[in-house]
Each structure stands twice: as C-alpha cells, then as structure tokens.
Amino acid sequence: MCITADGKIGKTSDHLADWTSKEDKQLFVSVTKRARVMIMGAKTYATIGRPLPERLIVVMSYDAATQQSIPDQVEFVQGNPADIIASLEQRGFTECIIAGGATINGLFLAAGLIDEMILTVEPIVFGTGLPLFAEPADQPFAADTRLQLLSVERLNDTVVSLHYKVIKSV
C-alpha cells in the first residue's frame, strides 16, 4: 500500500497511481510477484486497466457476473473477504496482497484478514482524498487495531517503506 505523508491513497477513487515513485512501483512488482495473487476493487483495477504479468488479479465487484474474467490473469468475484481467501487457499495460494482501494482495505481489516502491512510513504500531501481504510458500515474495525513495526527501508532519498505486523486488538 502506498500513502501520502498525510495518509491518503489517492485524491479520488479513479486517481491514477502516477504520483508514486519508481521505487514504490518496483517494490509493488516484487511483492506482488512473490505472492502471485492480489485482491483489489473494481475502481482500483480500472486505474490499472490490464492484467499484470506473473500475477492473478482478483477483482471484487458487485457486478462480477457481468464482467469478463481472463483465465489465470484476472478474475471478477463477488463475496465476502473470508470466502475469497478460503477459495484462494484451496487453490494453493499461501500469500495474498490486498491492493486496495480504501473500501477493500477496510473490508479485509474489519474481517481480521490482514496479517502484515507494507506501507510506502511518499513525500507529498494531498490535503483531501481517500484514506488508507474506509470502515465498512456493517462491519466496524476492531477498536484500536495496533501495528508492530518489523522493519523500515529507505527506498530513495525521500521515500520510506514501513513493514508492520498487525496485532489483534484486545
């Protein structure tokens, strides 16, 4: 996940990720290729607009049945986060990247399905925009979800990557 210095993932839901550094993009490619699968919402997928080599993109969409999946590259699904993860596990995936946007991030956090977070912090302030997590109306976040810092990596002179373990709230 990539955020601005004020914690935004984009100005709007259709904002392209052209504001992130080349180092963040390289980290994204590395992490997502290692996992081999990523989950995102339809609006996030629209900003990418195409399959990505060596990775399965699972797109959560309310109208998944009307979308055209591409075998082994892009799958449109409708369902809850736990069922989607269970389906991926049954297919042999052991790691999955939640690649946004705010609604999808919020659904997986509220369901307790995020174990770790890698956040790239870019030196830009949007002022307004989308938060990292949007709280689902029917499934609020666990109170005071805490993170344990595992590592900090400087990606270039101005960009850092923070790797956290998600600690379940008490």
Note the pLDDT tens digit of each residue in 4-48: 999 999 998 888 889 999 999 999 999 999 999 999 999 999 989
pLDDT-based confidence at residue 138 (cuts at 50, 70, 90): confident
pLDDT-based confidence at residue 153 (cuts at 50, 70, 90): very high
121's tokens: 């912090």
Q: Confirm if 37 and 54 have CB atoms less than 8 A apart.
A: no
27's tokens: 């980290």
Calculate what percentage of the chain has a pLDDT beyond 90: 79
Report the length, in residues, of the chain: 170
> Which domains does the chain possess?
2-167 (3.40.430.10)
**Is pLDDT above 70 for 143?**
no
132's tokens: 């990292």
**Is pLDDT above 60 for 169?**
no
Q: Confirm if 58 and 84 have CB atoms less than 8 A apart.
A: yes
Q: What does the angle CA 46 – CA 38 – CA 168 come to, to the nearest 5 degrees?
A: 120
> Tens digits of per-residue pLDDT, 78-122?
999 999 999 999 999 999 999 989 999 999 998 999 999 999 999
Q: Which residues, in sequence order, are bridge partners of residue 70?
A: 74
pLDDT given at position 135:
82
